């Protein structure tokens, strides 16, 4: 009977989700703010809804005057593509209308900028009493990323990564591993990602524990469950890439490639193809990073990298060389490649992590 009630509840939830979602506009956000809906709920609504926001300078000023706070405005910016180009006059107008400094800095970081940084331009900003902290960012928009909640986001456009460069000579990658194609170097350079391991498994979070307890008290079963997480030290990887759509190469050993012996100790001596790897987004925390490898509840148990997995394509160049590429730009974030065979979850995981920096905004 409990299972029947749970299935009825689940069907009800799915039917609600299936309904056509409304497109959020500036007026939608104003209505939510006026109704005193919490900022957290408004941000969650923005993340899961289609949007059509007006984030021109005028639009941001009107939203702020209607009570939209900086964290709501940032969420709106993160879900909006092709924000209007910013110029000196936009910065002056935002400041004169008492838009908070953090909102102005986010607007700079998430927008394409065409500032006048001549002496005349700087004098104009100073005469308008624009704070020095903002003027510094106008002079170098990349400074804005230092105050962002996503430090991987940088201002300005990066040159596109050519997707048709010829395969590297074998001597460019002297040993098995994963290599990033640094196309900005002349000639092109192939930099190897350093491996790291982790067996730091954590059982969920306080929020998940509370959610599980609530579901158990209402339904008699723990529907939400507890997530199994793997932790990594440091909030950011040492290997930094500035690219919108990076290209990698995987080099495998030629002898006994398809034998799956001692994979944890020697990954590239036992892997069959890039299909044996997963690329996943790694979430920064206050003391490091983590990602989910499974979830258990009273109804089910599953393992695998279902959260944050990033699809990639690959092309076989030779028996030991594969090109890894993407069909669309990848959001600025922390990532890691790793061997994803289920048997490896019982031992230390071999990871190849990197920090991707660009102006591509994620929605999570």
Q: Tell me how crowded residue 168 is: count the other CB atoms within 10 A of its CB.
A: 19
**How far apart are the C-alpha atoms of 273 and 321, rounded to whole Å?**
9
Question: Residue 239's pLDDT is what?
Answer: 92
For residues 121 and 292, the model is more confident at 121
Q: What are the C-alpha distances in Å from 222 to residues 10, 15, 293? A: 13, 22, 19
**Torsion sign across C-alpha atoms 162, 167, 169, 172:** positive
Section 179-191 average pLDDT: 95
Place of tokens 């021109």: 56
**How far apart are the C-alpha atoms of 122 and 166, rounded to whole Å?**
45
Bond from prior residue into 47 cis (ω within 30 degrees of 0): no
Q: What percent of the chain has pLDDT over 90?
A: 40
Place of tokens 């941000």: 43
The token duo for 53 is 């926001």
Question: Residue 47's pLDDT is what?
Answer: 79
The token duo for 72 is 């709501």
Confidence of residue 264 (pLDDT cuts 50, 70, 90): very low
**How far apart are the C-alpha atoms of 255 and 247, rounded to whole Å?**
26
* HEC per residue, the chain: CHHHHHHHHHHHHHHHHHCCCCCECHHHHHHHHHCCCCHHHHHHHHHHCCECCCCCHHHHHHHHHCCCCHHHHHHHHHCCCCCCCECHHHHHHHHHCCCCHHHHHHHHHHCCECCCCCHHHHHHHHHCCCCHHHHHHHHCHHHHHHHCCCCCECCCCCCCCCCCCCCCCHHHCCCCEEEEEECCCCCCEEEECCEEEECCEEECCHHHHHHHHHHHHHHCCCCCCEEEEEEEECCCCCCEEECCCCCEEEECCCCCCCCCCCCCCCHHHCCCCHHHEEEEEEEECCCEEEEEEEEECCCCEEECCCCCECCCEEEEEECCEEEEECCCCCCCEEEEEEECCHHHHHCCEEEEEEEEEECCCCCC
Torsion-angle region of 156 (φ positive above 0: left; ψ -120 to 50: alpha; else: beta): left
Question: Residue 232's pLDDT is what?
Answer: 67
Digit-coded pLDDT (tens) for 295-312 = 554 544 444 555 578 999
Digit-coded pLDDT (tens) for 312-331 = 999 999 988 999 999 999 99
Question: Residue 213's pLDDT is what?
Answer: 41
Question: Residue 13's pLDDT is what?
Answer: 46
Section 34-53 average pLDDT: 89
Rank 130-144, 159-173, 348-362 by mean pLDDT and report only the highest: 159-173
**How far apart are the C-alpha atoms of 188 and 358, rounded to whole Å?**
20
For residues 202 and 300, the model is more confident at 202
The token duo for 20 is 């056509």
Confidence of residue 256 (pLDDT cuts 50, 70, 90): very low
- Residues 137/105, Cβ–Cβ less than 8 Å: yes
Question: Residue 304's pLDDT is what?
Answer: 52
pTM beyond 0.75 = no
The token duo for 341 is 């065979």
Q: CB-based contacts of 156: which residues, under 8 Å, 6+ apart?
A: 112, 113, 141, 142, 359
For residues 291 and 58, the model is more confident at 58
Q: Is the pLDDT of residue 234 over 60?
A: yes
Question: Residue 118's pLDDT is what?
Answer: 95
- Residues 193/352, Cβ–Cβ less than 8 Å: yes
Confidence of residue 233 (pLDDT cuts 50, 70, 90): low
**How far apart are the C-alpha atoms of 266 and 176, rounded to whole Å?**
10
What is the residue extent of each domain of the chain?
2-147, 170-357
Q: Is the pLDDT of residue 56 over 80?
A: yes
Confidence of residue 91 (pLDDT cuts 50, 70, 90): very high
């Amino acid at each position: 009977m409990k299972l029947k009630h749970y299935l009825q509840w689940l069907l009800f939830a799915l039917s609600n989700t299936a309904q056509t979602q409304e497109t959020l506009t500036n007026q939608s956000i104003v209505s939510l703010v006026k109704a005193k809906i919490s900022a957290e709920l408004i941000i969650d609504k923005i993340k899961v809804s289609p949007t059509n926001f007006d984030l021109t300078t005028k639009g941001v000023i009107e939203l702020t005057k209607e009570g939209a706070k900086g964290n709501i405005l940032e969420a709106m910016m993160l879900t909006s593509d092709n924000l209007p180009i910013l110029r000196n006059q936009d910065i002056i107008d935002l400041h004169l209308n008492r838009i908070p400094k953090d909102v102005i800095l986010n607007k700079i970081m998430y927008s394409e900028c065409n500032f006048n940084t001549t002496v005349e331009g700087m004098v104009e900003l100073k005469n308008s009493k624009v704070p020095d902290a903002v003027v510094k960012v106008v002079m170098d928009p990349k400074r804005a990323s230092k105050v962002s909640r996503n430090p991987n986001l940088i201002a300005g456009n990066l040159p596109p990564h050519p997707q048709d460069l010829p395969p590297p000579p074998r001597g460019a990658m002297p040993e098995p591993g994963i290599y990033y194609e640094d196309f900005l170097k002349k000639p092109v350079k192939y930099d190897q990602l350093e491996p790291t391991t982790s067996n730091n498994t954590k059982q969920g979070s306080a929020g998940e524990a509370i959610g599980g307890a609530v579901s158990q008290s209402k339904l008699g079963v723990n529907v939400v469950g507890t997530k199994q997480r793997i932790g990594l030290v440091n909030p950011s990887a040492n290997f930094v890439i500035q690219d919108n759509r990076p290209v990698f190469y995987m080099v495998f050993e030629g002898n006994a490639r398809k034998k799956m012996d001692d994979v944890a100790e020697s990954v590239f001596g036992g892997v069959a193809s890039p299909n044996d790897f997963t690329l996943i987004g790694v979430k920064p925390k206050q003391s490091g990073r983590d990602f989910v490898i499974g979830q258990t509840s009273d109804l089910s148990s599953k393992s695998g990298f279902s959260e944050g997995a990033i699809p990639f394509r690959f092309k076989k160049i030779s028996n030991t060389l594969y090109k890894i590429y993407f069909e669309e730009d990848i959001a600025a974030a922390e990532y890691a490649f790793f061997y994803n065979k289920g048997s490896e979850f019982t031992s230390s995981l071999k990871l190849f992590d990197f920090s991707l920096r660009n102006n591509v905004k994620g929605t999570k």
